[in-house]
Chain A
């Protein structure tokens, strides 16, 4: 047995630090509370627990794979380094002026999020590149010296450099960075042409600033982590899961921490993708519902959908536009403020509204007995019989239904108790279903053809009803759903996505320039992937972002990787039209197409997952007892069979209405569905009448 056989995935979330240890005897998982002061301590504790459970000594661990929300939290809580931003003269305020719009049209007192770097710390250089990368204003040595002096005198810990059109020519950024590093070797310097070489100044500047802002802290933390792991005998290499759903070295992560922003959620998507591959599902909608938010991701052919920019740190009810757009490769997720802790209220029209405000874990839902006075989704689930007050979190948190009822009676007084509770769950399900529907429509897909994979504490309670609303026939609830991200880390390939803003009209198609650019991107990506994946087989995915000339949105166009010749302009056109038709249902004749940005992913080829066999034969699942639960479609309480999940064997079937209980969560099988236990421990919920 090689050391590589024992690997550990560690996910630091807002509340819990999850550990998944993959060892020859199976998978050991554990959850410990996140330690904000010393995040690495929780990791060490968690690994120790998992190792003890698996009877594996820590020294035998061959690989540590880590993801964390700490980077996101540092941005949200503004706990970064003292950072200067140096930009082109005339563009000092790009990050403050944002897109010059208001993300909420009817709020006269709207406040926009303050920029990460305030104006007095934004310096300008006398320099300018053209869109083609020609020097319009040379950067003089005297100006470089002046800026170096200003940075040193300012006592900054980090500097971000973002010049106009630096994706087309990085010379000025590189020169200034060199001078800064020479003058102040301890200074953290990030440049936009490395961190995010894509067209559009606002997201590029945001990205390089976010990187600089968190870099000293993240580098420090990762350094401490590696040392402390070593001190406990874990000398294995540490890899980080990046937002795009692949692994990178801890050194790269320390240089480009902005790539870690969505690492936890990306792990969840990989978890779902791996499950989809094992079950032979080519179209999957992953649905991850926790206490505060729900996240939705499309997974096709085992590959989570990715994007090249996203918004972090939304400040206003998760509203689009209220955060900070960064352009770095990411697994694309829709996140909405809907979770077990989401608070229900009545608006001016007498309507039940749920979320995005959440009771969190303190005080938590009213039924937690911690002083929460607002009714939440969890309270409603309790009132509808979907949660067992005696057995919530394995009995660790005894729930008090009377507190739920009085909170609902107090805050939703106009409704009868059951109607109110039903209204709350139905409204939150509706919000999640709408978000999922819009996301699939935006991607030109029909949601009916997808299988849902539900994980996270809240998903098994709500997923079946969501499927009813969305017309989805099949739903898979995997085992270990509570630590899904950490398990996902273990399944991630090594990957690196190199991106570049490089403008091309198809009428002036220049294959030589394209080939040169792509070769550079490939070299860049390969050099990162090589750190940790020596000798492994790799694959390349090339995407051009294209649009009709004059449009403002690009769409991703997958292309074969190779060397292009002049005749390939037609190939680009064909692929673009196919992608456009797929998204919008038609193409526009007679208009020219153009390319703005490029993305090239090098990733190690994943071993084919072991196919999960279909269970042979069906038998009835053993029923613990009968229990009354509210069925949304029937609009009434129904008698449901309660079944213990750990009593299920492959092929056992529970016909809805049924409740399948386990320590961490409860799966509701509505009247319209039946559940069949699968060979890997998953539950497959199938609409009655549909083939399993």
Chain B
């Protein structure tokens, strides 16, 4: 009996559960903080042609179609004649994977009754990959760590000892990095077991019919959603801080019938530092933004992603060429949705939010003994922190919340157990939300001091200090970020800096932009904000024009 539409729908539903289970397993076993806390991973199933059928929804829109494209590269590189049951492949090539060396993509071919029918793939951010470590300071990708080309991690079930030795010898945390590789391979295996059980239940021998059904239904739904966007050309530009020099981002959207494209011609050239973005990562964030606004309910797969055609001219900072350094490509990557949504606003007024803080304010702290002779151990601490999101047409922005990234913050109490620091303050930054009929989300203020006997270094990689999030439709910009000591001494918003014992680092994270004129804000909402201390009395009177 051949499967009916209902069968395909049930199998589709099951596949989404399978890939979610894959992702959950990885999150629980991974060593990398960003996988665990930030969901910096992805997992998915592909058909034999490398078309993505299902993908787990994780904290990383950056992987949305990056991983999807990656599997095609594997299929081409390995070739059908070399694809065997029990094989596992991997790479961390930023241009073939998900944009930087820390992300390792593992692909496992799926066999059924001896026939190759598809692939499972997953990606995770590992703790360390050698080189200079996670930071923007390299001049070329070669300095950023070990690059593993598309390679067999295992052939016919035999793990390559040479590869393991090579990796162990080149990273600072061999147990954890190699442990994560096994985790990735095991999560594909778990997916394979579930898939085989499902195929038994439905008596199907291959994935072709199911893949066609999923991809066709998704493509149709996506095209139908795009067709509702008015035809036309819509452009936008946005300037952001960048690393060594401000970055100009330009995008042109073209909508025609059920097709939409985004092109980044006019964007600044590459940086000498590791903030460059491989095009695959730009495509992912641009696609994420468009999908959120146009077809949020369609699950990610080859059919729902293909209709978004995204390109950036090679050599611009959003389509960096080898061997550019790309380690912290996420900073500019996180800002891509703001510029794309700004263009889409011209086509779909009343749908997209104002600009937000967008780029995460990750703080990487290296605590070191003030007196090296004291013997106090060195400690590394990583914190994820978010500013405010842009106000939406009908609702306020979200305060201290990540967008477009999906990361979570960590408990301060847990962080203080990890390393010798005291976080004196981590609360909302009053008055930082851009004023508007809908107010931008508030940023936050964080104050950190080293415990007795320690100084600390931190790696500043903060944007929206010189270029705050802009409001929309008459909304005011959010407050720009600030980096300083608690006594008011200004610090640089980029680069490695030292905070001595007794000094306190203060980070004031940017707020989101407002939407619509502040004077049109609901009076009760203004009063509530004032009572809650989210805006000042002066702001209420002068910007919101509150009379009483």
Contact = CB atoms under 8 A, between A and B. Distances in A.
Contact of B413 (A97, A120, A199): A199
A130 B401 contact: no
Contact of B17 (A94, A438, A586): A438
B28 A442 contact: yes
Interface string A141-176: 000000000000000000000001100000000000
A423 B386 CA distance: 42
B411 A202 contact: yes
Contact of B14 (A91, A200, A434): A434
Interface stretch (A98-106, A227-235, A268-276): A98-106
Nearest to B424: A90
A111 B395 contact: yes
A552 B33 contact: yes
Contacts of B175: 588-591
Given A120-B532, A438-B17, A100 B6 contact: no
Contacts of A501: 413
Contacts of B384: 100
B400 A97 contact: yes
B218 A349 contact: yes
Contacts of B401: 97, 100-102, 112
B297 A108 contact: no
A559 interface: no
B351 A108 contact: yes
Given A92-B427, A112-B401, A349-B217, A201 B413 contact: yes
Contacts, number: 200
Contacts of B416: 130-131, 165
A316 to B, nearest CB: 14
B394 interface: yes
Contact of A200 (B194, B351, B353, B411): B411
Chain B CB within 10 Å, residue with most, of A93, A108, A199: A108
B176 A591 contact: yes
Given A118-B532, A438-B24, A91 B406 contact: no
A442 B220 CA distance: 35
A92 B414 CA distance: 18
Contact of A106 (B21, B29, B291, B385): B291
Contacts of B424: 90, 128
Interface string A590-614: 1100001000000000000000000
Interface residues of B, number: 87
Q: Max chain A CB contacts within 10 Å: which of B4, B292, B414?
A: B414
Interface stretch (A60-68, A290-298, A424-432, A531-539): A424-432
A112 B426 contact: no
Given A108-B296, A351-B9, A588 B176 contact: yes
A438 B20 contact: yes
B293 interface: yes
A561 B296 CA distance: 52
Contacts of B411: 199-202
A551 B394 CA distance: 40
Nearest to B386: A100
Contacts of B386: 100
Nearest to A168: B413
Contacts of B531: 120
A97 B428 contact: yes
A119 interface: yes
Given A90-B427, A422-B6, A348 B412 contact: no
B422 A136 contact: yes
A442 B29 CA distance: 11
A128 B61 CA distance: 38
A106 B427 CA distance: 26
B353 to A, nearest CB: 6
A419 B398 contact: no
B426 A91 contact: yes
A119 B220 CA distance: 46
A119 B534 contact: yes
Interface in A377-431: 415, 419, 422-423, 426-427, 430-431
A201 B412 contact: yes
Interface string B6-35: 100110111001001100110011010100
Contacts of A136: 422
A93 B28 contact: no
A110 interface: yes
A553 B414 CA distance: 11
A522 B385 CA distance: 39
A100 B408 CA distance: 5
Interface in B214-246: 217-218, 220-221, 224-225
A109 interface: yes
Interface string B282-301: 00000000011101111100
Contacts of B176: 550, 588, 591
A101 B400 contact: no
A107 interface: yes
Interface in A318-360: 347-352
Given A93-B427, A588-B179, A423 B6 contact: yes
B36 interface: yes
A423 B5 CA distance: 9
Contacts of B417: 131, 199, 503, 596
Given A108-B293, A202-B411, A552-B37, A97 B444 contact: yes
Contacts of B165: none
B32 to A, nearest CB: 9
Nearest to A92: B427
Nearest to A137: B424
B167 interface: no
Contacts of A427: 9-10, 13
A219 B408 CA distance: 36
Contacts of A553: 28, 36
A45 interface: no
A435 B164 CA distance: 36
A110 to B, nearest CB: 7
A172 to B, nearest CB: 15
A437 interface: yes
Interface in B157-189: 175-176, 179, 182, 186
B29 to A, nearest CB: 5
Interface string A119-147: 11000000010110000100000000000
A103 to B, nearest CB: 9
B447 interface: yes
A319 B1 CA distance: 36
Contacts of A588: 31, 175-176, 179
Contacts of B36: 551-553
B398 A112 contact: yes
A133 to B, nearest CB: 12
Contacts of A620: none
Given A93-B427, A108-B352, A352-B6, A550 B31 contact: yes
Given A93-B428, A96-B399, A434-B17, A351 B12 contact: yes
A295 to B, nearest CB: 18
Interface in B374-418: 384-386, 392, 394-395, 398-403, 406-414, 416-418
Interface string B516-538: 00000000000000011110000
A96 B429 CA distance: 12
A347 B194 CA distance: 25
Interface in B262-309: 291-293, 295-299
A288 B296 CA distance: 32
A269 to B, nearest CB: 23
17 contacts: A90-B426, A91-B412, A92-B428, A93-B399, A94-B427, A99-B409, A100-B402, A101-B408, A165-B416, A199-B413, A352-B6, A437-B17, A438-B17, A438-B20, A441-B25, A548-B31, A584-B28
What are the 4 A-B residue pairs with the smallest beta carbon separation, nearest first? Answer: A90-B425, A434-B17, A119-B532, A106-B296
Given A199-B413, A430-B13, 11 more contacts: A93-B399, A97-B400, A102-B406, A200-B414, A349-B217, A349-B298, A426-B6, A427-B9, A437-B194, A438-B20, A442-B28
